[in-house]
């Protein structure tokens, strides 16, 4: 029996300004969306193959990453797609942001792409929503952190701070450290404009870690630069967002929660280095999905490290949300006749 007839979807382009409007002020809703996506991933209702890294021998610090993924089913209610995101750290010195990205959404019935979205904002949003969820869920059985410290003060740090504040967090002190004094000062200004509390710029990572109950690593570090487990003797909650700041010794002395075990234990991340050092994965205590469903208890007397590799299905979930919001507002910019050859035999 032949499949039912299908139509080719219209193709739309959603620029960053529309993305920002669709997502602005919806931190709580987006955290719930990301948590629902983690639950779907944990239940096996996603396809999230390994990310592919395009690297350049003549530009070793730069890379472009492809994150293909599928969320939901092929009955028209799901979405397939890919995020194509570049990280060129030298851009900062050139006066433009380090990262740029696009997200392609594909129709699960026909496979046709139906939208191209500016995705640096989507990527930062899903990263920040994931971090805010982890901060909330992993601190429920301990004293709520009152001092947060940010190591690295770029776009991702700003979005994480925005999502923490937007989901009800308040802090007595916000600590800041960055190798760039200008970036640290810029981030301090952002915090002072957006939330009450003292802001302290630290002169070392050690000072910031020792003075924080919640530590956010959001750098572009390619290899570990934090090696001493004694810095963490006060057992903070650590959001290891940039994945490569912590040495294997730090990971092995902590309680480790990942977003996805197979994804995190690749590409020389800090957990991957710990696996290489020990030859096993015994140091992995569980996933955020297990925390969400109550099957993983989080200790209060150990340093807790959340390491999120960043799943493509999160980008799809947020991208689909943006597309629906822009369409609901009647503001989709469609490209007429984007797909031209639609007759099989001419």
pLDDT of residue 37: 96
**Contact assessment for residue 150 and residue 176, using Cβ atoms and an 8 Å cutoff:** yes
What DSSP line would sit under 30-85, residue for residue? HHHHHHHHHHHHHTT-EE-PPPEEEE-TT-TT-EEEEEEEEES-TTTTSEEEEEEE
Domain 128-307 = CATH 3.20.20.70:
no
| pLDDT tens for each residue of 10-36 | 999 999 999 999 999 999 999 999 999
Residues of the chain with pLDDT below 70 are 1-5, 74-76
pLDDT confidence of residue 283: 98
Q: What does R_g of the chain's alpha carbons equal in angstroms?
A: 21
For the packed helices 16-23 and 120-138, what is the interaxial angle rounded to 10 degrees? 30
Domain ranges of the chain: 12-122+312-334, 128-307
Measure the CA–CA gap between 81 and 111, rounded to whole angstroms: 9
Cα angle 55, 61, 66; round to 5? 40
As a whole number of angstroms, the distance between CA 115 and CA 126 comes to 18
Using DSSP's 3-state secondary structure scheme, residue 252 falls into helix
Angle, helix 120-138 to helix 27-42, in steps of 10 degrees:
80
Q: Is 330 left (phi over 0), alpha (psi -120 to 50) or beta?
A: left
Please, are residues 253 and 274 in contact by the beta-carbon 8 Å criterion? no
**What is the phi/psi pair of residue 53, to 5°?**
-100, 120
The answer to whether 12-122+312-334 and 128-307 have equal CATH topology is no
CATH fold label, 12-122+312-334: ornithine cyclodeaminase, domain 1 (3.30.1780)
**Cα 248 from Cα 28, distance rounded (Å):** 34
Question: What does the pLDDT look like over 43-63, one tens digit per residue?
Answer: 999 999 999 999 999 999 999
């Amino acid at each position: 029996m032949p499949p039912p007839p299908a139509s080719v979807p219209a193709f739309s382009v959603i620029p960053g300004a529309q993305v920002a409007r669709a997502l602005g002020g919806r931190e709580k809703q987006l955290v719930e969306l990301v948590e629902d996506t983690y639950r779907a991933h944990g239940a096996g209702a996603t396809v999230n193959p390994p990310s592919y890294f395009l690297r350049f021998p003549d530009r070793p610090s730069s890379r472009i990453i492809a994150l293909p993924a599928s969320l939901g089913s092929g009955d028209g209610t799901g979405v397939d797609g890919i995020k194509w995101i570049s990280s060129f750290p030298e851009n900062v010195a050139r006066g433009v942001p380090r990262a740029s990205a696009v997200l392609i959404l594909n129709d699960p019935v026909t496979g046709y792409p139906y939208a191209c979205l500016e995705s640096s904002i989507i990527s930062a949003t899903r990263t920040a929503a994931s971090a805010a969820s982890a901060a909330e869920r992993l601190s429920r059985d301990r004293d709520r952190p009152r001092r947060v410290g940010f190591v690295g003060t770029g776009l991702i740090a700003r979005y994480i701070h925005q999502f923490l504040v937007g989901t009800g967090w308040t802090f007595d002190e916000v600590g800041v450290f960055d190798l760039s004094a200008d970036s640290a000062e810029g981030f301090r200004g952002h915090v002072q404009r957006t939330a009450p509390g003292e802001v302290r710029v630290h002169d070392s990572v050690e000072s910031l870690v020792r003075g924080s109950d919640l530590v956010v690593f959001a750098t572009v570090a390619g290899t570990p630069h934090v090696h001493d487990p004694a810095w963490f003797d006060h057992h903070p909650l650590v959001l290891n967002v940039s994945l490569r700041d912590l040495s294997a010794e730090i990971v092995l002395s902590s309680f480790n929660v990942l977003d996805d075990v197979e994804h995190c234990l690749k590409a020389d991340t800090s957990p991957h280095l710990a696996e290489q050092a020990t030859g096993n994965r015994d140091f992995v205590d569980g996933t955020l999905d297990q925390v969400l469903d109550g099957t993983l208890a989080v200790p209060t007397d150990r340093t807790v490290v959340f390491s999120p590799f960043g799943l493509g299905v999160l980008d799809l979930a947020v991208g689909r949300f943006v597309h629906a919001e822009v369409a609901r507002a009647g503001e989709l910019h469609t490209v007429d006749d984007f797909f031209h050859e639609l007759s099989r035999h001419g």
